[in-house]
Amino acid sequence: MHEQLNEYIRKKISISDENLQMVNQFFKPLELKKNEFLLHTGETCQRTYFVLEGCLRIFFINEAGQDATRYLAFENQFATGLVSFITEQPSFEYVQAVAASKILYISRYDFYALLKVVPEWERFYRSYLEFAYVLNTTRLMSFLTLDATERYKRLLDESPEIFKRLPNKLVASYLNMSQETLSRVKSKR
């Protein structure tokens, strides 16, 4: 079960077998039903998740009462309400299983404890934060500089599995457009 996690970590950093075993001890398995929530708005995020199988979605509700998907985590990706996890403040986001999913999770307490005892974990965390920053900044820039068609084409090129695995409603939410706009854009291709 931890093999996927180990492979992911080893792609990001060099780590001794002993320290990797220590990291593994803190990650616990969890199976989720479709649409099950791991975090609700107003709760403080106390866990980080690694997807073994399935998909997690991080989203919030905008002023119009519509959900806006910030991030989708498929197999071999991490997901969490990162701002709440770091600041220990109530989350403005939800974390939900889009499909029946198998995940590993680590508590915030254990995550930060590992930073003190496993030097390589600090490098892993820095890599994780850099990835999150680049991804979020790139997505924000796409919303500000690209039209709906350009955002659709970019996502299709970069992550075609999203279109294969998720309903149009979630794809539209991730692209920050209505389902109608997504249908129009798709029909023009």
The full set of domain ranges for the chain reads: 3-117
Going residue by residue through the chain, which has 189 residues, state the pLDDT in tens, using 9 for 90 and above: 799 999 999 999 999 999 999 999 999 999 999 999 999 999 999 999 999 999 999 999 988 888 999 999 999 999 999 999 999 999 999 999 999 999 999 999 999 999 999 999 999 999 999 999 999 999 999 988 999 999 999 999 999 999 999 999 999 999 999 899 999 988 886
C-alpha separations of 116 from 6, 93, 119 in Å: 20, 28, 7
Topology classification of domain 3-117: Jelly Rolls (2.60.120)
- Is residue 1 within 8 Å of residue 74, measured between CB atoms? no
- Is residue 14 within 8 Å of residue 83, measured between CB atoms? no
What is the rounded distance in angstroms from the CA atom of residue 47 to the CA atom of residue 51?
13
Place of tokens 């029946």: 100
